[in-house]
Amino acid sequence: MVPYAPNGMPLAGFGDRFLAYLIDGLVTFGVAVVLAIPIFIAMFAVIAGTANTDSSSAGPSILLILLFEFGYVLAILAWIYIYHVEMFGHSGVTWGKRAMKLRIIRLDDPAAPPTRGVMARRWAVQNVAGAVVPFFSYVDGLWQLWDKPYQQCLHDKAAGTIVVKAG
């Protein structure tokens, strides 16, 4: 028996949500690779520049490399935010959710579209907490398997959203 949302739409199953997550992950990975190319070129230029000088200047090059890496992590987090929050506001779904015919709706008002704040809260719990707390991403994603009645992940609970099958 398929469980239903308060608006009568069927809830998205684990398999559909997981495939949408994988598709979105591939999109994110592709952008991460494209962003990495200029950063690695700059890092290698810094390393090559310090290799041609005396060894006493190796300290600042390590600091620069760490700054490049920190900037890269921030750029990836910014891209994931844009993809999951801002793009959602533009099209209503990510590419993975579109491919799997899924939609995010608010639990308190299923007819109203999720706001930027709701989507930002959802993103922060899923991505920021997942990057900081060990194994949180696994627990978050698997939570829907035993959550009743709406099969919510922890990021859904924090934002007050549910995922439904739209097609």
**% of the chain at pLDDT higher than 90:** 53
At 155 the pLDDT is 95
Q: Which pLDDT value is given to residue 42?
A: 79
What are the structural domain ranges in the chain? 14-165
- Gap between the Cα atoms of 74 and 153, Å rounded: 25
pLDDT digits (tens, 9 = 90+) for 89-109: 766 789 999 999 999 999 998
Q: Residue range 142-151: average pLDDT?
A: 93
Query: Mean pLDDT throughout 127-149?
Result: 91
CA distance 51 to 22: 41
Q: For residue 161, what are the contacts with CB-CB under 8 A and spacing of at least 6?
A: 104, 105, 106, 107, 114, 118, 122, 152
Cα dihedral 104/102/110/83 (nearest 10): 20
Residue whose token pair is 């990495």: 36
**What is the rounded distance in angstroms from the CA atom of residue 71 to the CA atom of residue 73?**
5
pLDDT in tens, 105-136: 999 988 888 889 999 999 999 988 888 889 99
Whole-structure pTM value: 0.83
